Amino acid sequence: MRLLSSAFVALLAFARLSFAASSSGDSVLVLLDTSLDRENYSIFFGGLEKRGYSLTFRAPKDASPAITDYDVPNFDHVIFFSPEAKSYAQDITPQSLVGLLSEKTNLLIALSPKQTPLTSLATEFSLILPPPETPLISHHPARSERPTTIPVAVSSSSPLLTPGIPPVWFSGAPHALGNNPMLVPILRAPAESFAADSTDDTGADGIVDATEKGGEGLWAGSQMGLVTGFQTNVNSRVVFAGGIDLFSDEYARKELPSGTPSGNSQFARDIATWVFQETLTLRIDSVEHHRVNQTEAPEMYTTNDEIVYTAHISSYDSRTSTWKPYSGIGDLQLEFTMLDPHIRTSLPPVPGSPGTYQVQFRAPDRHGVFKFILNWKRKGYSYLSSSTTVPVVPPRHDGYPRFLSAAWPYYTGAISTSAGFFLFAALWLAGDVKGERKKVSKAE
Partner 1 sequence: MILRLSWLLLAATVRAASLSLQSPRFTISASDATQLRSDTLSLTKKPEPLTLGATDTLKLTFQITDNDEGKGVQPHQTFLRFYDKVSGEEGIQPVRVTPGGKAKFELNMARPPTSIPPTTQNPLEVSLILGSFVHAPAKYDLFDIYLPASQTPAEHPDEASFHVLPTIEHTFRPEQKLPPQFISAVFAAAVLSPWVVLIGLWGKVGVRVPHLFSPSIVPFTVLLGGFEVLLVWYWVDLKLGQVLLYGGMLAIPTVFAGKQALYTTGEWRAGQK
Comparing CB distances to partner 1, the nearer of 11 and 415 is 415
User: Per CB under 8 A, does 371 bind partner 1?
Assistant: no
Report the 3 state secondary structure along the chain. Answer: CHHHHHHHHHHHHHHHHHCCCCCCCCEEEEEECCCCCHHHHHHHHHHHHHCCCEEEEECCCCCCCCCEECCEECCCEEEEECCCCCCCCCCCCHHHHHHHHHCCCEEEEECCCCCCHHHHHHHHCCEECCCCCCCEECCCCCCCCCCCCEEECCCCCCCCCCCCCCCEEECCCCEEECCCCCEEEEEECCCCCEECCCCCHHHHHHHHHHHHCCCCCCCECCCCEEEEEEECCCCCEEEEECCCHHHCHHHHHCECCCCCECCHHHHHHHHHHHHCCCCCCEEEEEEEEEECCCCCCCCCEECCCEEEEEEEEEEEECCCCEEEECCCCCCCEEEEEECEEEEEEECCECCCCCCEEEEEEECCCCCEEEEEEEEECCCCCCCEEEEEEEEEECCCCCCCCCCCHHHHHHHHHHHHHHHHHHHHHHHHHHCCCCCCCCCCCCCC
Q: Which of residues 272-301 bind partner 1 (CB under 8 A)?
A: none
Q: Which of residues 387-406 bind partner 1 (CB under 8 A)?
A: 404-406
User: Per CB under 8 A, does 198 bind partner 1?
Assistant: yes
Comparing CB distances to partner 1, the nearer of 231 and 248 is 231
Give the nearest distance from C-beta 293 to partner 1 in angstroms. 20
Q: How many residues bind partner 1 (CB under 8 A)?
A: 78
Q: Which of residues 21-50 bind partner 1 (CB under 8 A)?
A: none
User: Per CB under 8 A, does 368 bind partner 1?
Assistant: no
* Span from 48-56, 68-76, 87-95, 195-203 in contact with partner 1 (CB under 8 A): 195-203
User: Per CB under 8 A, does 179 bind partner 1?
Assistant: yes
Give the nearest distance from C-beta 203 to partner 1 in angstroms. 6
| Residue selected from 89, 128, 343, 390 as contacting partner 1 according to rule CB under 8 A | 343
Comparing CB distances to partner 1, the nearer of 323 and 361 is 361
User: Per CB under 8 A, does 422 bind partner 1?
Assistant: yes
Give the nearest distance from C-beta 188 to partner 1 in angstroms. 10
User: Per CB under 8 A, does 164 bind partner 1?
Assistant: no
Comparing CB distances to partner 1, the nearer of 155 and 286 is 155
